[in-house]
């Protein structure tokens, strides 16, 4: 007893009623919905990945991919609509967004912000609410109703400005609005000029200021900052085209609608009219757009009415990231594409450009019939769209399809796969018939009623036979929400399983008899535990969006095919719980036979005979041409050999001449070298003698200068010592004087500080008493609120515990789902690899066969050549002996040149490798620069946003501080304080708080008594404060003025002291009085004095003496100022005049 495992392998179909139902993930992958899944389809590899829908929802309504191609947002319909965001790389769920602000059961449109951090969702009827999310935090930033309240007109599409996260555009019936997010709300802006109201169906941003909008009358409007800049009437063009194409004049008055617009760098593309896309490109002035091309859906040759395909309405357009491919989806669930460069090339040509079918053609109506072939991997389906299609479930391709004037009701495939039986509405025969809740079994030969199977309370929807030897057991499902196992002989119900609230619509059983599957009205697949047990066990798989109508299992029990009312076909890979699938017999391969007419066979045979004769003719021609070429090559070889012999002899003579010339040149060079060497020896001897004399003279001069320098150094040291003693004495006097002055000022400051401390203590004591009384009141109120908080926290803890249990259950289920998904991915990858390897091997085999045929021909040709060449070799061997001797002599001359060439080649190779390395480094650096610039742009945007947030918070804080400051002004008046606090609470606290509990009568009495006591104490304290404040104000003003003047003087004196010390230090350094640097200073002075008593040194000394005299005069002036200040301190307050700093010119 086990439950079989089913994994979706491939889905055929497209869900057409979804907003934005086609998007690009990357250059090779498109994203579109099918059934209850979102599919990632790789166009090159023709492989699919699946994102399953959320269980319990009613299907997808909107889809969008983020600008960074990392995430996809899927909106699903339900009692409470939800938006699920998935990671496109890992296919894992990132966030589930839902909001109580939306009354609708679906979202009409979705859009990501340019930086992919925000998501905007437009709700459906009745309220048409717009939500602005920060989806990573699952937080609704703003809510806005976009429809007109009077008309409640529908809204169709919403989008972000491609350069601004805060600007949105919304279009609908008579609605074209721009919103900007500011301070937690979406505010309308841009006053649009008054114009006639239109039913706007779609729009697209062509720049950060321009929007192109389409209407239901075929008009395109170009708006720039609320002003209509340009208008295109595609409806008139469409009518003109129809008039020219219709000769009789019977024109259907169908007004084309602009149903989809997509913009790209060169311009934009819009869908207007049946099966038509118009391309617009920017003009030279870049202000307007010009229509350049029309692209149409091609007629369908497989249809009874080929023009029916051209009547499709294009509902969505998308452009690939490289802007090379345009993909369109239609209301008939079809996908088309065109490469834009090919459309541009077709501008000059007069032919009409057509789309091409992407992947394969799908059903666009309810699938009525399904069958599987035994000998071939084929599936046959028929649909209400009047088409019959043959699918290959191994290659996942559409093999054949045909549309008929009427719809087929059922279909059956012959086991050979060569014939199909279709039943139309006016024919067909069944061996088992169902009437309401009774299953009647008939004989196919005698047409007698063998048995009537009863047991269902509701209508029977599907029946299937058990694949055992006797064929006496059948399973049936009906609208009574039960699954029954019935015996044919006794017409008894063996087992009955209640499917709870879900209605089962179809059933299928494996040929091995180990797996049983059932389809539901909700579109889910049940894998039932088999054999059946009375309670019933099953696992549910999400596949379709609507009811499953038919189910079939392939003959080898490898795949299960399900079809549904939404025209989707899901191919499931099935196996039992132990991982066992029925292994196909290796000897029993798929049938390769095909049916072909006799006329086609005869044509092919004649073609083969003609081609064979042509091949023989070509062989004879080639042989003749080869012989001619051999003859010509022989003649050329003889000519070349003669030329080479002549050149060899000429080279020998040249070599002999060169040798003689070389000997002569060597003798000349030896004689010249001897003469040059003699000259150099004489010159060296002369130079040595001259240099020795110069050195002796220089040494004598150096000794004289050194003795003079020593004398000068002793004189300057004596002078510097005398000046240093005089300076030290002056410094000691000044420091003593200023230190006494500082001590006096510090004592005055300490006295004033003590007085101010005592006054502050008295003020703080009064303040503490008032604060303590206020704190008591606050504590009483706080205790009451804390009791309420405890109760609410206890309730919250209970709820958190329940939610924790639910989360654990959800996580365990999610892990199981992830494990299954990983297994599915592995199997899909293995299958894709095997298919690619298979195709490669086939191509290799074909190529190798061709090569074998070609090589056989070449081998024959080469054998002939070998025979001829052997003869030539015999003749050439005679010349070999003669040539070998000549070659040996030439090699001796060539070897040194070859060595040089090798060395140069090595250097060239090394240089080339270095060039390659530098080019790689340059490319890497360019890439890194691009990445850094992109990061800089992103960080700049984030900084801008953060600065705006900080600015808003600072403004709020300033408002709150001002309000608080006003409240503190009424701290002595409790009534006013209470009122201001209430006003402050109402202004800044927006959340509603529950009403407080009724206060007991005793507490109210105590409160009133305390209030009366406080009012009395406050009145008495006010009187005391008024008196004390008047006394203290005068004292404080006087003390503050004195303190300020004293502090200023002290600071000025300290600055002047520092300046004087630094100047003295600089003077000492300049004169070289520091003990550590005396030697170095002496050396520098000695260097100056070695040249004699120069005028520069004397002028420097005179300048320094003048500076010292100036400093002494400045010191005297400062002392006089200090005395004047001391005299003025007793009679008037200090003036605060700053002393002039001691200037130094050193």
Q: Which of 983, 989, 951 is nearest to 964 (CA)?
A: 983
Residue 574: CB partners within 8 Å, gap ≥ 6? 4, 5, 6, 7, 510, 515, 517, 553, 557, 558, 559, 560, 581
Answer yes or no: are the C-beta atoms of 456 and 478 closer than 8 Å: yes
Answer yes or no: are the C-beta atoms of 102 and 126 closer than 8 Å: no
Q: Domain 430-575 sits in which CATH superfamily?
A: YVTN repeat-like/Quinoprotein amine dehydrogenase (2.130.10.10)
Q: What are phi and psi of 554, to 5 degrees?
A: -65, 160
pTM above 0.85, yes or no: no
Residue 444 pLDDT: 61
Residue 705 DSSP label: H
Residue 1071 pLDDT: 60
Residue 1145 pLDDT: 39
The yes-or-no answer to whether 190-362 and 430-575 have a common fold is yes
* Domain ranges within the chain, ordered by starting residue: 14-153, 190-362, 430-575, 864-898
Instruction: Give the C-alpha distances (Å, rounded to integers) separating 288 from 222, 232, 322.
Output: 8, 11, 24
Please count the other Cβ atoms lying within 10 Å of the Cβ belonging to residue 455: 19
Instruction: Look at strands 164-172 and 175-182 and give their pairing.
Output: antiparallel
Quote the tokens at residue 374: 């035994």
Residue 1135 pLDDT: 43
CA distance linking residue 484 with residue 507, whole number of Å:
11
Give the CATH architecture of domain 14-153.
7 Propeller (2.130)
Residue 1099 pLDDT: 64
Across-strand partners of 129?
Answer: 145
SS3 content of the chain, % helix, strand, coil (to 5): 45, 25, 30
Residue 470 DSSP label: S
Q: What are phi and psi of 530, to 5 degrees?
A: -130, 140
CA distance linking residue 587 with residue 610, whole number of Å:
37
CA distance linking residue 309 with residue 933, whole number of Å:
48
**Gyration radius of the chain over CA positions:** 51
Quote the tokens at residue 1043: 């303190």
- Say whether 363 sits in a helix, a strand or coil: coil
CA distance linking residue 1010 with residue 665, whole number of Å:
130
Residue 628 CA, chain-centre distance (Å), reads: 67
Answer yes or no: are the C-beta atoms of 3 and 537 closer than 8 Å: yes
Instruction: Give the C-alpha distances (Å, rounded to integers) separating 199 from 109, 152, 174, 176, 693.
Output: 17, 13, 5, 9, 111
Please count the other Cβ atoms lying within 10 Å of the Cβ belonging to residue 950: 10
HSE, CB side, 13 Å, CA atoms: give it for residue 1135: 10
- Say whether 1020 sits in a helix, a strand or coil: helix
Residue 110 pLDDT: 92
Q: Which of 21, 30, 19 is nearest to 325 (CA)?
A: 30
CA distance linking residue 311 with residue 517, whole number of Å:
39
> pLDDT tens digits, residue range 55-86?
888 889 999 999 989 999 999 988 889 999 99
CA distance linking residue 463 with residue 546, whole number of Å:
20
Secondary structure (DSSP) of 844-868: HHHHHHHHHHHHHHHHHHHHHHHHH
Sheet holding 378-383, edge to edge: 367-372, 378-383, 387-392, 397-403
Quote the tokens at residue 189: 């802006």
Residue 331 CA, chain-centre distance (Å), reads: 30
CA distance linking residue 1126 with residue 346, whole number of Å:
102
Instruction: Look at strands 210-215 and 200-205 and give their pairing.
Output: antiparallel
To the nearest 10°, the Cα dihedral for 799, 801, 807, 811?
Answer: 180
Secondary structure (DSSP) of 71-103: EEEEEE-SSS-EEEEEETTT--EEEEE--TT--
Q: Domain 190-362 sits in which CATH superfamily?
A: YVTN repeat-like/Quinoprotein amine dehydrogenase (2.130.10.10)
> pLDDT tens digits, residue range 723-761?
778 778 878 877 887 778 778 878 877 887 788 788 778
Q: Which residues of 163-192 are buried (b: 16+ CB within 10 A; e: fewer)?
A: eebbbbbbbbbebbbbbebeeeebeeeeee
Q: Which of 120, 113, 109 is nearest to 315 (CA)?
A: 109
Residue 201 CA, chain-centre distance (Å), reads: 29
CA distance linking residue 832 with residue 841, whole number of Å:
14
Could you give the angle at which helices 1095-1131 and 1001-1071 cross, rounded to 10 degrees? Answer: 150
Residue 642 class from Cβ within 10 Å (0-12 exposed, 13-18 middle, 19+ buried)? exposed
As averages over each run of 10 residues, the pLDDT of the chain (1146 residues) reads 78 89 91 90 90 86 91 90 91 89 89 91 88 88 86 89 89 89 83 75 90 90 84 71 46 73 91 90 77 88 82 91 91 90 62 85 88 90 90 89 86 88 62 74 70 73 58 60 63 66 82 82 84 76 85 84 87 73 56 74 86 89 87 87 86 85 84 82 80 78 80 79 80 79 80 79 78 75 78 80 78 80 82 82 82 80 80 75 73 74 80 80 82 82 86 86 83 82 79 46 71 76 76 73 74 78 72 49 45 52 71 73 63 45 42
Residues in the chain: 1146
CA distance linking residue 55 with residue 543, whole number of Å:
10
Dihedral sign, Cα of residue 931, residue 933, residue 934, residue 938: positive
């Amino acid at each position: 007893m086990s439950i079989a495992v089913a994994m979706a392998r491939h889905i055929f179909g497209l869900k057409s009623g979804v907003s934005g139902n086609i998007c690009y993930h990357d250059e090779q992958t498109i994203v579109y919905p099918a059934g209850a899944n979102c599919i990632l389809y790789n166009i090159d590899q023709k492989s699919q990945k699946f994102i399953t829908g959320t269980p319990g929802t009613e299907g997808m309504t909107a889809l969008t991919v983020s600008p960074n191609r990392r995430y996809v947002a899927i909106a699903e319909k339900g009692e409470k609509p939800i938006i699920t965001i998935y990671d496109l790389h890992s296919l894992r769920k990132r966030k589930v967004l839902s909001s109580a602000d939306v009354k609708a059961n679906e979202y009409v449109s979705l859009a990501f912000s340019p930086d992919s951090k925000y998501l905007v969702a437009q709700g459906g009827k009745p309220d048409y609410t717009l939500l602005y999310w920060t989806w990573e935090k699952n937080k609704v930033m703003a809510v806005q109703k976009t429809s007109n309240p009077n008309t409640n007109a529908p809204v169709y599409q919403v989008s972000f400005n491609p350069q601004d996260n805060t600007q949105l555009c919304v279009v609908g019936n008579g609605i074209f609005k721009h919103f900007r997010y500011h301070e937690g709300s979406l505010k309308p802006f841009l006053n649009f000029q008054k114009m006639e109201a239109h039913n706007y169906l779609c729009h697209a941003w062509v720049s950060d200021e321009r929007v192109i909008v389409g209407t239901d009358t075929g008009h395109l409007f170009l708006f720039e900052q609320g002003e209509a800049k340009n208008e295109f009437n595609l409806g008139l063009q469409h009518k003109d085209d129809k008039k020219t194409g219709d000769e009789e004049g019977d024109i259907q008055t169908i007004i084309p609608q602009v149903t989809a617009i997509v913009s790209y760098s060169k311009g934009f593309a819009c869908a207007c009219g049946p099966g038509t896309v118009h391309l617009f490109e920017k003009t030279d002035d870049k202000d307007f757009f010009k229509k350049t091309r029309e692209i149409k859906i091609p007629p369908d040759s497989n249809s009874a009415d080929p023009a029916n395909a051209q009547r499709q309405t294009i509902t969505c357009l998308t452009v690939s990231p490289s802007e090379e491919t345009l993909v369109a989806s239609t209301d008939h669930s079809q996908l088309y594409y065109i490469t834009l460069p090919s459309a541009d090339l077709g501008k000059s040509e007069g032919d009409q450009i057509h789309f091409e079918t992407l992947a394969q053609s799908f059903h666009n109506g309810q699938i009525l019939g399904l069958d599987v072939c035994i000998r071939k991997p084929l599936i046959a389906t028929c649909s209400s769209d009047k088409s019959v299609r043959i699918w290959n479930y191994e290659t996942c391709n559409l093999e054949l399809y045909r549309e008929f004037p009427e719809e087929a009701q059922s279909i059956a495939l012959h086991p050979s796969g060569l014939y199909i039986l279709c039943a139309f509405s006016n024919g067909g025969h069944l061996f088992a018939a169902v009437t309401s809740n009774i299953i009647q079994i008939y004989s196919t030969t005698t047409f007698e009623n063998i048995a009537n199977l009863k047991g269902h309370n509701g209508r029977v929807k599907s029946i299937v036979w058990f694949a055992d030897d006797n064929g006496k057991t059948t399973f049936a499902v009906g609208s009574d929400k039960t699954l029954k196992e019935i015996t044919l002989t006794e017409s008894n119900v063996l087992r009955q399983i209640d499917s709870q609230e879900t209605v089962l619509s179809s059933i299928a059983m494996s040929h091995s008899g180990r797996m049983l599957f059932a389809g539901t009205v909700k579109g889910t697949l049940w894998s039932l535990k088999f054999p059946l047990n009375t309670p019933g066990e099953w696992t549910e798989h999400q596949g379709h969006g609507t009811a499953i109508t038919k189910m079939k299992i392939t003959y080898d029990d490898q795949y299960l095919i399900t079809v549904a009312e939404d025209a989707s076909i899901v191919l499931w890979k099935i196996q039992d719980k132990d991982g066992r699938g029925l292994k196909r017999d290796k000897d029993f391969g798929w049938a390769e036979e095909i049916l072909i007419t006799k006329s086609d066979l005869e044509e092919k045979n004649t073609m083969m005979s003609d081609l064979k004769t042509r091949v023989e003719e070509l062989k004879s021609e080639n042989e003749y041409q080869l012989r001619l070429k051999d003859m010509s090559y022989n003649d050329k070889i003889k000519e070349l050999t003669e030329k080479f012999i002549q050149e060899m002899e000429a080279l020998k003579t040249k070599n002999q001449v060169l040798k003689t010339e070389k000997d002569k040149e060597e003798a000349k060079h030896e004689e010249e070298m001897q003469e040059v060497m003699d000259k150099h020896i004489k010159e060296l001897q002369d130079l040595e003698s001259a240099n020795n004399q110069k050195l002796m003279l220089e040494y004598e001069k150096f000794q004289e200068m050194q003795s003079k320098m020593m004398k000068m150094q002793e004189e300057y040291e004596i002078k510097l010592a005398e000046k240093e003693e005089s300076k030290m004495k002056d410094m000691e006097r000044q420091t003593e004087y200023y230190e006494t002055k500082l001590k006096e000022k510090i004592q005055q400051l300490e006295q004033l500080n003590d007085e101010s401390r005592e006054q502050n203590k008295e003020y703080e004591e009064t303040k503490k008493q008032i604060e303590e009384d206020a704190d008591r009141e606050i504590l009483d109120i706080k205790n009451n609120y804390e009791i309420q908080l405890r109760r609410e926290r206890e309730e919250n803890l209970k709820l958190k515990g329940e939610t924790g249990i639910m989360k654990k259950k959800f996580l365990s289920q999610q892990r199981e789902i992830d494990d299954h998904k990983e297994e599915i991915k592995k199997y899909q990858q293995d299958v894709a690899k095997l298919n690619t390897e298979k195709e490669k091997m086939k191509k290799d085999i074909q190529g190798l066969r061709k090569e074998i045929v070609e090589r056989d021909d070449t081998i024959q040709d080469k054998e002939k050549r070998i025979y001829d060449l052997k003869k030539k070799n015999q003749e050439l061997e005679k010349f070999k002996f003669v040539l070998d001797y000549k070659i040996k002599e030439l090699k001796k001359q060539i070897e040194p040149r070859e060595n040089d060439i090798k060395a140069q080649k090595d250097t060239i190779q090394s240089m080339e490798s270095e060039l390659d390395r530098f080019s790689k480094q340059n490319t890497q650096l360019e890439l890194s620069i691009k990445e850094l610039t992109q990061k800089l742009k992103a960080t700049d945007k984030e900084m801008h946003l953060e600065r705006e947030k900080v600015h808003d918070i600072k403004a709020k804080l300033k408002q709150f501080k001002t309000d608080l400051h006003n409240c503190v002004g009424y701290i002595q008046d409790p009534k006013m304080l209470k009122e201001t606090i209430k006003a402050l609470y109402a202004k800044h606290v927006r959340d509603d708080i529950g009403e407080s509990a009724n206060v007991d009568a005793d507490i109210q009495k105590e409160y009133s008594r305390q209030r009366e006591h406080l009012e009395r104490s406050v009145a008495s304290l006010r009187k005391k404060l008024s008196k004390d404040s008047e006394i203290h104000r005068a004292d404080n003003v006087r003390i503050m003025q004195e303190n300020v003047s004293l502090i200023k003087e002290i600071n000025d004196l300290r600055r002047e002291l520092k300046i004087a010390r630094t100047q003295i230090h600089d003077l000492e350094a300049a004169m070289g009085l520091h003990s550590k640097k005396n030697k170095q200073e002496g050396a520098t002075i000695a260097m100056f004095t070695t040249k004699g008593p120069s005028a520069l040194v004397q002028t420097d000394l005179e300048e320094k003496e003048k500076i010292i005299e100036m400093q002494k005069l400045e010191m005297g002036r400062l002392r006089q100022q200090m005395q004047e200040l001391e005299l003025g301190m007793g009679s008037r307050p200090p003036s605060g005049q700053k002393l002039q700093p001691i200037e130094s010119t050193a």
